[in-house]
Structure 1
Amino acid sequence: MSASDYRVPGPDYLVAGRYRLRSKIGGGGMGAVWLAHDTLLDREVAVKQVLSVAGMTEDSAAQMRQRAMREGRIAARLSHRNAIAMHDVALESGEPWLVMEYLPSRSVAEILHQTGTLPVHQVAQIGAQIADAMTEAHTAGILHRDIKPGNILIAEGRNAGLVKLTDFGISRSKDDVQLTQTGVITGTPAYFAPEVARGEDPSEASDVYSLGSTLFTATEGEPPFGIDDNSLVLLHRVARGEINPPKRSGQLEGALLAMLEPSPARRPTMAEVRDRLAQVAAGDNGNTAMILASPLDRPSPGRPPHRPPTRRIPTTTESGLPAVTSSGPRWQDAAQTHPPVTPDPWQVTQHSQPSAPVFGLQPPQPQSRHLGLAAAVFLVFVVLAAIAITLIAVIR
């Protein structure tokens, strides 16, 4: 197909005679993402337009189609509550379009842009659910390779609080053909594992590190290696594996340090990460199964803030690195040297209050309980006065 034969898709464009484009809702390294209507099944879907092959050589175009089909195959192999489902790979004028589940949502990156950070127990729940999905992916031989705040979605509306991982565009199956060029690093440097930044092949442990970097960002307000507009400088910093020490992660600190262990062999597995994060989110007496199955919620006015009695830190080796055994990380309780400070669970670091409520709910109003109590007391006095007046009238 020549460039002159190619029609640029836009709203109302019909893909493969079935998917009617509505509006552009996102984009990524491979192409744009559209909200579309499936005219056959009468449902809303997300359709990912792979970068156009117009003007490419036949070999390059064939490789692009292969890559899109590979993404579709990989994503279709994973069926998990916390992963965006792949419905179809449609061909339009010889070009592949990926048809996925549509989830009205905001990414964690968008939420953090508004709030700066998220509450520790909520970050733990997000991490536990993503780790649960990635445990199943790793069991199926699938690596994601680009876990980051922008690829974790938090649903709004009818499914509010549902957490899903998306964009397997650069993911790889262990038994699949390698389609990226040798020596080319794909992904987002701020969330790379050190071994990937050094040019080594990614592994399950690399996904663990990227998830740890993502959760670190959510609690600390920036990635573990800081922020730098120069990707090459940041890449060298990541390759050295020297993270900024966490300061706001509280009871998540031990888990994060284990996930961000420089040596991939010493990191916990994704299943161990899931179990540990679920325990942190649930608290000492909470139900970890409910943490994995329940949508995120924000504290209600009558709900006490989440605060475990102890702070967890990892034991360390002689080199000062978190010790992780073959069966997973060894966390040890550390006695508090001073009473823990418990901030407002929805207090943010970059602004005094979010400009809009996260997940569509209003912030707790602590004064409402005092006003309600005063009104109730006043009503009781009014009722008692009325009874007294009635009795006096009857006696007379």
Structure 2
Amino acid sequence: MRPVGSKYLLDEPLGRGATGTVWRASQRETAGAEAAVAGRPGETVAIKVLKEELANDPDVVMRFLRERSVLLRLTHPNIVRTRDLVVEGDLLALVMDLVDGPDLHRYLRENGPFGPVAAALLTAQIADALAASHADGVVHRDLKPANVLLRTDGEQLHPMLTDFGIARLADSPGLTRTHEFVGTPAYVAPESAEGRPQTSAVDIYGAGILLYELVTGRPPFAGSTALEVLQRHLSEEPRRPSTVPEPLWTVIERCLRKNPDERPSAENLARALRTVADGVGVHSTPAQVDAALGVAALLAPDPAPAPVPDAPGAPGAADPTQVLPTGAGAGSYDPSAATSVLPATGGPGGPGTPGQGADPTAVMPPVPPGQDGPQGPGDPNHPWQSQLQGVRDRNEQTQVQYLDPSEDPLRRRPQRQPAPQPPAGPRQQQPQQRYAPPPQQYAAPPPQQYAPPQQQQYAPPQPQPQRPEPRPAREPRPPREPRPPRQRSANPMRIPGLGCLKGCLFTIILLVIAGWLIWELTPLQDWVAQGKGYWDAIGDAISTVTDWISQLTDAGSNL
């Protein structure tokens, strides 16, 4: 058992969600005056411990403390009451009443969809809870079957809406971004998916989705990804199932309007659902049937929907940014004054001159005429044109096009490029004179020369004034045609001795078969059973064969 604060002990987990874990817990001692319900020692309660990333966010902790009074005073017969809030180190927890019963999502999965009358009456009680919370300025924002607990009163199902304020606590600037939303994709309203301002109409949209799922067993919009589900919320209209009566479909269709201003208020929704339940039953009177058919007149929009907190103008929204007083005007600081703006710099007086405008945008001086010819936007020598032409040239260097197979370096061997041809000219020297040494290279030195003959013997040849004739260019080889694909033989198994795995396996199989044949078709079993030696067995085999041959010869002689 794990203590939570000084007054509660966690016993066992009951469920796990996106924002935390719900535990069955017991109260150790009576809570103080800060709790909404004091309780008594030994009383069983439910405690939802929020996730660590929520508890470690200072924005969530401040919001948790600021909204303590809002959550504790929210009471209704169809709302799970919040008894206490615990803040201890890195732990945030909500102490609530324990509801012994399944949630609506589990009940639907085990028992199937509801009838039209039961679905209307059940959703009407949830609408009553929404009406009470909207009147207190609290928007749920995550209405779905998993957040509706069912308490059984005999044979009656009493829905209890839970997780009020969890979406509000989780919607922290440190955890969410402008492109994210709080809620479940299958039940989120279009304005929440698009990031538009939200009001209590998002809960009416969720109630319409929940009512549709109660009578059909599935939500109206589904998909393989969350993005696909959100797109259907924004662009598609739900289709009426054949099992839904017309008055009930009128209520669902009005709740699922894309425009939040066309959705009814929670109070009007509850009244309309009870009217539909009275008019679609088997014991309905004609007056009740007529009232149900005219239910559209009861679904009036909410003239003053409750805004979602942290929206501009909503209760609990952040205060506007203010500038602290500085300088001589510190004594006249007004907390309600507008945000001041720093003075602009720059101007004719130079940088930092107060009260002057910013420097004008500087323009590059034009190219003086007469240097590169006529200068104009249409001139090819104009700097603009030269820059654009350079960009086009760079873009044209890399192009994607079809490559001929003969030019593909992966399919052909590289070809040797021919040597460059020299300019044509008169040939004044024969090829055989190219490597001919000069006549005086090996001549004997004159008497007056004292240098040793070795110095002249290995002297390099004198450079010729004329250019030697190059070798004739070789004709390039024709590109080799690609080899046809190798045709596999009918028997792909090869046995190159015992060098491959297939050959080894095949050889082992042959040896096993041969051993089995020898064991079955020869007297080897008898020899082994009699315990004869190898040479004795060979001698017996030879004697058997000789006896058999002698019998054959005797039989031939008798004939």
Q: TM-score, normalised by structure 2?
A: 0.47
Q: State whether structure 2 residue 146 is matched by structure 1 residue 150.
A: yes
Q: Structure 2: any 5+ residue segments left out of the alignment?
A: 30-39, 304-559
Aligned partner of 1:211: which letter?
Answer: A
Aligned to 1:374: none
Counterpart for residue 381 of structure 2 = none
Alignment match of 2:23 (pick from 24, 30, 34): 34
Cα 1:53/1:313, change in 2 over 3 Å: same
SS in 1 for 2:26: strand
Does the alignment pair 1:265 with 2:254?
no
Q: CA deviation at 1:64?
A: 3.6
Q: Deviations over 1:264-302 (max 9, x none)?
A: 111111111011112223448xxxxxxxxxxxxxxxxxx
Amino acid at match of 1:244: R
Which residue matches 1:198?
Answer: 194
* TM-fit CA distance, 1:178: 6.7
1:244 aligns with 2:233: no
Cα distance, 1:26–1:72 mapped onto 2, change above 3 Å? farther
Shift of 1:224: 1.6
Match of 1:332 in 2: none
What is the aligned counterpart of 2:84 among 88, 105, 122?
A: 88
Alpha carbons 1:152, 1:163 under 8 Å: kept: yes
Does residue 63 (structure 1) correspond to residue 52 (structure 2)? The answer is no
Correspondence 1:1-396 to 2 at 5 A: 12-40=1-29, 41=40, 42-52=42-52, 60-69=56-65, 72-156=68-152, 161-172=157-168, 180-225=176-221, 227-250=222-245, 251-283=247-279, 310=289, 312=292
CA distance in 1, matches of 2:237, 2:138: 28
- Alpha-carbon separation, structure 1, partners of 2:53 and 2:252: 41
By how many angstroms is 1:63 displaced? 2.6
Judged with a 3 Å threshold, the aligned counterparts in structure 2 of structure 1 residues 37 and 170 are, in CA distance, closer, same or farther, namely: closer
Contact 1:37/1:45 (<8 A) preserved: yes
* CA distance, structure 1, for counterparts of residue 83 and residue 300 of structure 2: 40
Higher RCO (Cα < 8 Å, 6 or more apart): 1
| Counterpart Cα distance in 1 of 2:283 and 2:16 | 36
Q: Is the 8 A contact 1:53 1:64 kept in 2?
A: no
In 2, distance between residues paired with 1:324 and 1:241? 22
- Structure of higher CA gyration radius: 2
Per-residue deviation, 1:32: 0.6
| Between 244-253 and 257-266, the greater mean CA deviation after superposition | 244-253
| Change in 2 beyond 3 A, CA 1:73/1:21 | same
| CA RMSD between the two structures | 3.1
Q: Distance in 2 between matches of 1:201 and 1:327?
A: 16
What secondary structure does 1:268 align onto? coil
CA 128–150 in structure 1, closer or farther in 2 if over 3 Å, else same: same
Tell me if structure 1 keeps the 8 A contact 2:50–2:93. Answer: yes
Counterpart AA for 1:203: T
Query: Retained in 2: the 8 A contact 1:104–1:157?
Result: no
Between 14-23 and 210-219, report the one with greater CA deviation: 14-23
Q: CA deviation at 1:242?
A: 1.8
TM-score when scaled to structure 1? 0.65
Match of 2:24, SS state, is strand
Structure 1 residues 50-79: Cα deviation after superposition (integer angstroms, max 9, x where no partner): 11259x9xxx53234235446654432311
CA distance in 1, matches of 2:77, 2:298: 32
Q: Which runs of 5+ in 1 are unaligned?
A: 1-11, 285-303, 317-321, 329-396
- Describe the shift of the 1:78–1:103 C-alpha distance in structure 2 as closer, same or farther (beyond 3 A): same
Deviation at 1:313, TM superposition (A): 5.5
One-letter amino acid matched to 1:247: S
Q: Which amino acid aligns with 1:26?
A: G
Secondary structure at the residue paired with 1:238? helix
Structure with the higher fraction of residues in strand conformation: 1
Q: How far 1:159 moved relative to its partner?
A: 9.7
Determine the C-alpha separation between the residues in 2 that align with 1:183 and 1:199.
Answer: 7
